[in-house]
Amino acid sequence: MSAPPSSSPRWLLYGASGYTGRLIAEEAVRRGHRPVLAGRSHEKLAPLAERLGLELAVVGLEDVRTLVSTLEGLPLVLHAAGPFVRTSQPMVQACLAAGSHYLDITGEIPVFESIFQHDAEARSRGLTLMSGVGFDVVPTDCLARHVAEKVPGAHELDLALSITERVASPGTAKSMLEQLPQGGRVRRGGALQPWPMGKGLRRVRFSDAEHTVAPIPWGDLVTAWHTTGIPNITTYMTLPRAAARFIRFTYPLLKRVLSVDAVRHGAERLIESRVHGPGETARSESRTHIWAEARAADGRRAQAWLELPEAYAFTAVAAARAVEEVLARKPQGSLTPAGAFGADFVLSIDGCRRLDALA
């Protein structure tokens, strides 16, 4: 792990009272940072700010003038309040207006696409715009770059995830709910294309075991394209065959139901009351496994595997490390984590191990 910064950087952590926001705040303090904790609710922010001895700022994303004023003098914002498809744009605009770097922990494809639309403006202002500085998508982006560098001119890239801890945080659950009606995606010929949910099962050997995986619309369909330039990308996650068949046949009905605003909002309220995220034991004991393969038309190929801590525990450290890298390097433009920091960035996080061959 890289050493914490010698000074005590001040930056803004928006959404600090959420499940992942709290983990990031605690990790940031452990690393010597002094983030300003921000969000909509003083009632939710105050106990965390008092416990960690940090400043707080209460501001809504709809209050653009106050938001820009709050960012004055702060070099960077780490945005942790989802669903990001609703919350990212106001904060991006505020950062561009205030001259603050923007980072977030989203995995939502429309947000990644939107971030890259602001590349020219970010460069002209000398700012970084970077989405996905947590489990979405640091490890997969870094592994994608690693295998791509081994196969120059690769035309296909496959990425697969095996996650042992399936309990989501409220924010993750709401983001998934928001994206479900959009359906499956793959990248073909450099363009995003629809893909039937539950179709395309295959077996993948991870570093711990072989599992059945199914295509999912992961953020790397955008980030890995920008990082590697590979035009054909499929992202997978472990899913039992029975579950994949169930999803394939029930998804059309589910899509229609979730397209109704009242149903979706009711589901969000249920998530808020019932979903709490993995506990400390699960975060400390669970592991995540990733596989990647790049292939070229002439038959050249390269595989690699990555082992890392539980997703939320990883996100807390990865996000804090990304803050440190941006403040130190000050890269400019709309960037991916591996594009800005290199394929080995993930290895700077304790508990991560990369393998290029399996016994």
Asked if residue 246 has pLDDT above 80, the reply is: no
pLDDT, tens digit, 9 for 90 and up, residues 49-96: 999 999 999 999 999 999 999 999 999 999 999 999 999 999 999 999
Which domains occur in the chain, in start order? 12-134+312-342 (3.40.50.720), 138-310+351-355 (3.30.360.10)
Distances (CA, A) of 112 to 16, 241, 342: 21, 30, 19
DSSP 305: E
Asked if residue 135 has pLDDT above 80, the reply is: yes
Distances (CA, A) of 247 to 82, 183, 184, 196, 270: 25, 11, 11, 10, 21
Structure tokens at 119: 């590349």
Q: What is the predicted pLDDT for the residue at 165?
A: 64
Distance between CA atoms of residues 239 and 166, nearest Å: 11
Q: Is the whole-model pTM more than 0.85? A: yes
Distances (CA, A) of 257 to 31, 89, 120, 253, 271: 45, 27, 39, 6, 17
Is 99 in contact with 43 (CB distance < 8 Å)?
Answer: no
Distance between CA atoms of residues 52 and 37, nearest Å: 10
pLDDT, tens digit, 9 for 90 and up, residues 314-353: 999 999 999 999 999 999 999 999 999 999 999 999 999 9
Contacts for 142 with CB less than 8 Å, ≥ 6 apart: 306, 337, 338, 342, 343, 344, 345, 346, 347
Q: What is the predicted pLDDT for the residue at 266?
A: 85
Chain position carrying tokens 């995986």: 213
Least confident of 27-41, 107-121, 235-249, 311-325: 235-249
Asked if residue 164 has pLDDT above 80, the reply is: no
Distance between CA atoms of residues 236 and 354, nearest Å: 19
